[in-house]
Structure 1
Amino acid sequence: MARPKTKEELLNLSSFNFKKLNNYIDSFSRGEQEKDFPEGTMNRNIRDVLAHLHHWHLMFFEWYTIGMDGKKPHIPAHGYNWRTLPELNREIREDYLSISLDEVRERFNGSHQKTMDLITEHTCEELFQKKRYAWTGNNAISAYAIGVLSSHYDWGYKLIKKAKK
């Protein structure tokens, strides 16, 4: 599907990709859901993928909260930049290793809904107008929202699908 260009498209595609990802995970037995992926991926199993997605929701909330308070958030995270994402993502993975798939899934589902609720509170113009908010730089809020919602869910789906072949 094309990249969302309206609030409605963003919400619809995010919901669609969220359901697609969860339905795909549900198609596996419990044992398959907990089985590690073949060697070669940083995210070693479904829990890791969902924890990654959940944590990026949390980072989005932090960016949003700090930014809407008139301050400049550290994007993607304090001490990291877009070139050091692999290190950040490794740290995220390590932070969730002791948490069960069920707990991670519950957190992911909750943070998804919270993100969708946040998007719903805004107008299409507020979401998609570039440079509207100082904290987004040359981007619009939607660029970050798409990154942690619809496109990130598609990434997770494709990673799990490739690993389960």
Structure 2
Amino acid sequence: MGEVAERIVASADEGLARLLARADAHPDADLSQAYKGRRVADVLTHLHAWHLLLEGWLAEHAAGRVPAYPAAGYSWATLGDLNDALYAAHRPLAYGQAREALAASHGRVLTLVAAVDDAALASPDAVPWLGGDSLGAVAHECLGAHYAWGERVLDAAGVPA
């Protein structure tokens, strides 16, 4: 694993550990005001759903195809609609199921990221369909930076750290 991948993986592992420790301590916390009336489990499924998107992008890219980015039928201008669709798709999961799904997809995505060479992760020109973003930056946004978002939702809801 290259240095860029190591940084992404370390940040992701640390961020997920922090988020899960906090979520596990308060799985039934009221997030209604902070997160559209949603639950702690919904924070976890949101993260899991974005892992699934990243997995798909990486698989399509590895096969030499251009993936639907961010997702089929959506653009970055309709990101709110995409997030609502992801919420609806994963809403039935209870906290334990959401946690398990997140932990599993986290592991799979880290394995995929670790397999990408540093040049492809670091260069904004390496993956043209990303529109000038580097694959490493996108991976970090779906991992460590996204876990920080989850913690900010918990902060806004007053969930103790």
- The alignment's TM-score, normalised by the length of structure 2, stands at 0.89
1:62 aligns with 2:56: yes
Looking at both structures, which has the greater relative contact order when contacts are Cα pairs under 8 Å and sequence separation is at least 6? 2
Contact 1:52–1:92, Cα closer than 8 Å, also in 2: yes
Partner of 1:41: 35
Contact 2:125–2:134, Cα closer than 8 Å, also in 1: yes
Deviation per CA, 1:60-98, whole angstroms, max 9, x where unpaired? 111111122222111111111111111111111111121
Partner of 1:90: 84
Q: How does 1:1-165 map to 2 (within 5 A)?
A: 6-28=4-26, 33-39=27-33, 41-42=35-36, 44-165=38-159
Contact 2:46–2:87, Cα closer than 8 Å, also in 1: yes
Runs of at least 5 residues in structure 1 that lack an aligned partner in the other structure: none
State the distance in 2 between where 1:122 and 1:78 align. Answer: 24
State the distance in 1 between where 2:82 and 2:116 align. Answer: 29
Aligned pairs, number: 157
Contact 1:68–1:135, Cα closer than 8 Å, also in 2: no
- RMSD value, Cα: 1.8
Contact 2:53–2:71, Cα closer than 8 Å, also in 1: yes
- The alignment's TM-score, normalised by the length of structure 1, stands at 0.87
- Identity percentage of aligned residues: 27
Runs of at least 5 residues in structure 2 that lack an aligned partner in the other structure: none
Contact 2:34–2:156, Cα closer than 8 Å, also in 1: no
